């Protein structure tokens, strides 16, 4: 089958072209790949990589991951280097590309909630009321030049942009559906990772060795918390607080982490103009920060972005839309946050209960507790850790977002910084409902 990842990896000769330019990538595609390209356009966004949309001279025909014949007129091409695309001089480890391709191959073979992968046995949903989650579909990967060619999903909106554009009550039902689907999916991924980390650890070796991904995930928010606290004149033992969070990211190998699970990396396929609130599919993109680590960091990153959509994306009180006026909270953002945490916790607890039942009948394959005094729920539903990492995300990334107004931003950042102090002094619980309580969300 053409979409089997292992068959699509090839070591081509080193390219003589500058793949960070449109001209260089166009020449590379035409000389070294089966994708004869007439034109190429650089896509905006992205910190690490150069991403392009290539228009093909003739349709590329193949059989996709659900055994459907396809003819592609465009593809997406991603080039990875040892420096960041968005910031000249920022060095990056190319090990991330090896880990990402391996993660796509591995995850596509798992039976996860609401997920349709290449190697799964789940049936593809046939109704728009039963949407599925997909990963990017790899067409080819050049291991020498670190160029990946993917199926182009077209101009689908990200979950983040959709809820910025549709913050009101008319999108609540859809947002709740998306949150529940993604929460269960992530819980299934973490449950699988926790199991194999104790029963077959070598499976996760490649991700356990993703040291650069761990460092980036620790650096991108936690490193800047103390600066935010100083800016807002909030005193606390920030060295202790941030060191605890960093150590969780850098030292933990609890489970398999997606590493960049947030609303900007989720694309939404809707039913079309006639039924714009009907969800057909979700696509989870950008797996290059995949690693092992605590479940709390994946949960917290998505929950933090949902919380910011809730806090920042409502309509201004006067209706003028200026960024200097406070906003009412977005009900759609709130629905996404609540349903995501509920879906995650519900799936973990159901799986734990099912496992206990199977143990009593002698059919269990997963022990409910691997660490002395800790159950699976203790590890995957660590509310204190989730709150800490969520607040770190909002306190740093959340103070610079362009789609929030100044007053709401300042109030929200101050609030999460103060919460970090009280959270550091509190006991943890095995319930994500306590995250909502701490954030004062219903």
What integer pLDDT is reported at residue 55 of this predicted model?
Answer: 98
Look up residue 5 and give its DSSP letter.
G
Residue 121's pLDDT band (cuts 50, 70, 90)? very low
For every residue of 33-64, which 3-state class applies, written as one string?
A: CCCCEEEEEECCCCCCCEEEEEEEEEEEEEEC
Taking the CA atoms of 124, 126, 131 and 136 in sequence, report the sign of the dihedral they define: positive
- Please indicate whether residue 288 or residue 87 has the higher confidence score (pLDDT): 288
Taking the CA atoms of 254, 257, 263 and 267 in sequence, report the sign of the dihedral they define: negative
What integer pLDDT is reported at residue 325 of this predicted model?
Answer: 52
Q: Please give the Cα distance from 433 to 259 (Å, whole number).
A: 23
What integer pLDDT is reported at residue 371 of this predicted model?
Answer: 54
Q: Which residues contact 272 (CB under 8 A, 6 or more apart)?
A: none
Residue 5's pLDDT band (cuts 50, 70, 90)? very low
Per-residue model confidence as pLDDT tens digits over 328-362? 789 999 999 999 999 999 999 999 876 654 444 44
Per-residue model confidence as pLDDT tens digits over 298-335? 999 999 999 999 998 765 444 444 544 555 789 999 99
What integer pLDDT is reported at residue 39 of this predicted model?
Answer: 97
Per-residue model confidence as pLDDT tens digits over 250-259? 999 999 999 9
Q: Please give the Cα distance from 209 to 136 (Å, whole number).
A: 23
């Amino acid at each position: 089958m053409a979409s089997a990842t292992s068959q699509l990896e090839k070591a081509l000769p080193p390219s003589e072209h500058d793949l960070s330019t449109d001209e260089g990538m166009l020449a590379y595609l035409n000389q070294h790949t089966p994708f004869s390209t007439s034109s190429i356009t650089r896509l905006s966004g992205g910190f690490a990589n150069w991403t392009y949309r290539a228009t093909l001279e003739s349709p590329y025909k193949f059989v996709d991951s659900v055994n459907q014949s396809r003819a592609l007129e465009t593809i997406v091409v991603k080039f990875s280097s040892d420096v960041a695309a968005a910031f000249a001089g920022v060095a990056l480890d190319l090990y991330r590309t090896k880990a990402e391709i391996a993660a796509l191959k591995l995850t596509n073979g798992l039976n996860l909630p609401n997920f349709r992968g290449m190697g799964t046995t789940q049936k593809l949903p046939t109704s728009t009321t039963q949407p599925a989650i997909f990963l990017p579909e790899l067409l080819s990967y050049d291991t020498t030049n670190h160029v990946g060619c993917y199926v182009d999903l077209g101009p689908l909106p990200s979950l983040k942009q959709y809820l910025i554009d549709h913050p009101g009550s008319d999108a609540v039902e859809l947002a709740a559906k998306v949150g529940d689907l993604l929460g269960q999916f992530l819980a299934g991924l973490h449950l699988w990772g926790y199991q194999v980390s104790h029963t077959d650890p070598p499976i996760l070796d490649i991700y356990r060795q993703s040291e650069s991904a761990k460092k980036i995930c620790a650096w991108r928010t936690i490193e800047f918390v103390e600066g935010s606290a100083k800016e807002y004149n909030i005193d606390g033992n920030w060295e202790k607080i941030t060191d605890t969070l960093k150590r969780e990211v850098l030292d933990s190998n609890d489970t398999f982490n997606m590493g960049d699970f947030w609303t900007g990396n989720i694309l939404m396929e809707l039913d079309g103009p006639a039924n714009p609130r009907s969800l057909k599919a979700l696509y989870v993109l950008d797996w290059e920060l995949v690693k092992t680590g605590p479940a709390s960091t994946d949960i917290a990153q998505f929950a933090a972005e949902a919380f910011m959509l809730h806090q920042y994306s409502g309509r201004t009180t006067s209706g003028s839309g200026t960024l200097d006026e406070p906003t009412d909270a977005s009900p759609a953002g709130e629905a996404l946050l609540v349903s995501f945490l509920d879906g995650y916790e519900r799936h973990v607890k159901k799986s734990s209960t099912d496992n206990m039942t199977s143990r009593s009948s002698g059919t269990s394959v997963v022990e409910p507790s691997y660490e002395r005094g800790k159950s699976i729920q203790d590890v995957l539903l660590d509310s204190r850790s989730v709150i800490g990492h969520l607040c770190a995300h909002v306190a740093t990334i959340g103070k610079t977002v362009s789609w929030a107004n100044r007053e709401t931003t300042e109030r929200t950042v101050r609030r999460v910084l103060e919460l970090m102090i009280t959270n550091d002094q509190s006991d943890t619980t095995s319930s994500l409902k306590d995250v909502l309580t701490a954030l004062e969300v219903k």
